[in-house]
Chains A and B, each alone.
Chain A
Amino acid sequence: MGQAQGDLVITQDQLDEMVAHCLACYPEEGCGLLSGDPETGLVAGVHPMRNAAGSAEVYELDPREHLHVDLAAEAAGHSVIGVFHSHTHTDAYPSPTDVRKAPDPSWHYVLVSLRHELPSTRSYRIAAGNISEESVVVLGQ
């Protein structure tokens, strides 16, 4: 757990994949999981998923799809290390719902805001109801 407050380390292509999925889901919120190394925060895979809530205001992962992502991550020697979703008309900051429903204090919570013409992406830790923003280290630039 010593590295639990490390940053999110991700490639530009992976960031673009998240944003593209969120744009494709618009006007509904887009969502998905991130797999990788829980110790370093290095993302190995972005996993776009369907929004089981089918809503512009909330998202919900399909648990069976989550299971399949989890199994594939495990087979690749990784873990699920975080979740991303879009806010279509608000900033890239966790809402009270995001904080209340955050399932895991070790995860990275990535928010993609589509409020402005240029999407913005930020990442947070949410533990015991407290939000702390972390750096997003973009590889391959």
Chain B
Amino acid sequence: MAVPVRLPTVLRPAAGGQSQVAVEGRTIGEVLGALQRAYPAMSGQLLTDQGSLHRFVNVYVNDDDVRYLDRLDTKVGESDTVSIIPAVAGGAA
């Protein structure tokens, strides 16, 4: 089942400039794994070597942050939209 995934500008070059792609998966972990296999340049940008979500990436299923759902085990379907949102921070300190 193909799940639509919205990509932030930083990941679009790895997907040939596309702002949205569709990949197979029943959970967020499967979707992110499929993304990295389909677009190898994303490898290391989504999941850590230990297989957990990078702290500088936020993943939403529709309007919900997967960190407050079941993280990588969060279930998704083709009627859901996954959005990858970069963590944005900085400051004078």
Contact = CB atoms under 8 A, between A and B. Distances in A.
Interface stretch (B24-32, B34-42, B70-78, B79-87): B79-87
A58 B90 contact: yes
A115 B91 CA distance: 14
Interface of chain B, main secondary structure:
mixed
B19 A57 contact: no
Nearest to B10: A104
Interface string A12-31: 00000000000000000100
B83 A70 contact: yes
Given A66-B85, A67-B85, A70-B85, A103 B91 contact: no
Nearest to B20: A74
B52 interface: no
B91 A55 contact: yes
Please classify how large the interface on chain A is, using the bins under 10, 10 to 19, 20 to 34, 35 or more.
Answer: 35 or more
B58 interface: yes
A81 B93 contact: no
A55 B65 CA distance: 23
A88 interface: yes
Contacts of B87: 60-61, 63, 101, 103
Nearest to B59: A63
7 contacts: A1-B13, A29-B92, A55-B93, A61-B87, A83-B90, A97-B93, A103-B10
Interface of B: 6, 8-10, 13, 19, 56, 58, 60, 63, 65, 83, 85-93
Among all A-B residue pairs, the 5 with the closest Cβ atoms? A58-B91, A57-B93, A103-B86, A104-B10, A98-B90
